[in-house]
């Protein structure tokens, strides 16, 4: 009961923070539209280049244009959800620790990690989320998919845990700032590896495949779970691997974060 009450309280607080952020957003509607449209245009340009490539080749390592679009769209959804709810971790790496602004989170009667993540609701991500949904909506009729209650459930599970792979990577790399004061460049370096996940890992050499599968496992945010739905395969690896990788990354991230909080020193004069 105590755990349920605590969880309910956190969800209530999260809703309050989101409402406050949306109120601030309404004062700067142009900023929101610019960010969302920017995200939208970026993905549209990427899809345009993909269509140009496929106008000259029948497939990419055996994957058709429809299958690639499905993988690409699948990749965007967990990335957008992470962007929507956990984008404030970037600020930890870039300036919050360096400026000593982390002090305010230590005075709040909630977990510092919770306080940091709920402070920012990044609505720019809606453009990215919309593109991902539209790409899946376009590609699914082009493919022969086994749409069953089980696969719908596995799809939701895969999206949920894939989101926390993104968050886990950001959490680990942003936490380094507790010791270095700034780790934004490290977050960016690791986070940008996710671009490899939008395409079949089979098109890369062994070194790249090893990195995106087992070191910075973004392949489990898109290619592996998406390939289960489009060509079948072992769900214990394709979907289960996504679950395992997300749990490992989040556990490591929370451990490093907690160690970092104890090591934190406010900015000097």
Q: Out of 116-130, 183-197, 200-214, 228-242, pick the least confident.
A: 116-130
Is 33 domain-assigned? yes
pLDDT at 124: 79
- The rounded distance, in Å, linking the Cα atoms of 161 and 150 is 17
Is 221 domain-assigned? yes
Angle between helices 184-191 and 149-175 (to 10 degrees): 150
From the list 169, 175, 165, the residue with the least C-alpha distance to 92 is 175
Is 269 domain-assigned? no
260: its two tokens? 């970092």
Spell out the residues 6+ positions from residue 204 whose beta carbon is closer than 8 angstroms to its own: 196, 212
How many residues belong to the chain? Answer: 269
264: its two tokens? 């934190």
pLDDT at 27: 60
Is 268 domain-assigned? no
Q: What is the mean pLDDT of residues 240-269?
A: 90
Is 69 domain-assigned? yes
Instruction: Return phi, psi of residue 123, to 5°.
Output: -70, -15
Tell me the residue range of the domain where 93 lies.
2-263
Between 113 and 37, name the one with better pLDDT. 113
Spell out the residues 6+ positions from residue 44 whose beta carbon is closer than 8 angstroms to its own: 131
Total structural domains within the chain: 1
- The rounded distance, in Å, linking the Cα atoms of 34 and 39 is 9
Is 118 domain-assigned? yes
Is 203 domain-assigned? yes
Residue 231 pLDDT greater than 50, yes or no: yes
């Amino acid at each position: 009961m105590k755990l349920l009450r605590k969880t309910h309280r956190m969800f209530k607080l999260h809703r309050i923070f989101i409402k406050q952020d949306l109120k601030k957003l309404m004062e700067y509607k142009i900023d929101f539209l610019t960010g969302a449209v920017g995200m939208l245009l970026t993905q549209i340009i990427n899809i345009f280049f993909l269509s140009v490539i496929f106008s000259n080749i029948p497939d990419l390592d055996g994957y058709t244009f429809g299958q690639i679009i499905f993988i690409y769209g699948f990749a965007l959804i967990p990335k957008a959800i992470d962007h929507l709810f956990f984008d404030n971790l970037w600020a930890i790496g870039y300036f919050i620790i360096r400026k000593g602004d982390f002090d305010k989170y230590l005075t709040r009667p909630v977990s510092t990690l919770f306080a940091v993540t709920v402070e920012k609701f990044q609505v720019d991500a809606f453009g990215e989320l919309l593109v991902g949904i539209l790409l899946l909506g376009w590609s699914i009729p082009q493919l022969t998919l086994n749409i069953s209650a089980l696969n719908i459930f596995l799809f939701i599970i895969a999206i949920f845990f894939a989101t926390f792979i993104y968050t886990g990577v950001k959490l680990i790399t942003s936490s380094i700032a507790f010791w270095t004061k700034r780790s934004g460049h490290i977050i960016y370096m690791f986070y940008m590896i996710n671009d490899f996940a939008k395409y079949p890992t089979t098109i890369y050499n062994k070194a790249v495949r090893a990195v995106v599968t087992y070191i910075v496992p973004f392949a489990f945010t898109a290619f592996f779970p998406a390939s289960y739905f489009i060509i079948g395969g072992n769900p214990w690896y394709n979907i289960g691997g996504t679950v395992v990788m997300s749990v490992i990354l989040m556990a490591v991230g929370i451990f490093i974060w907690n160690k970092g909080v104890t090591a934190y020193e406010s900015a000097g004069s």
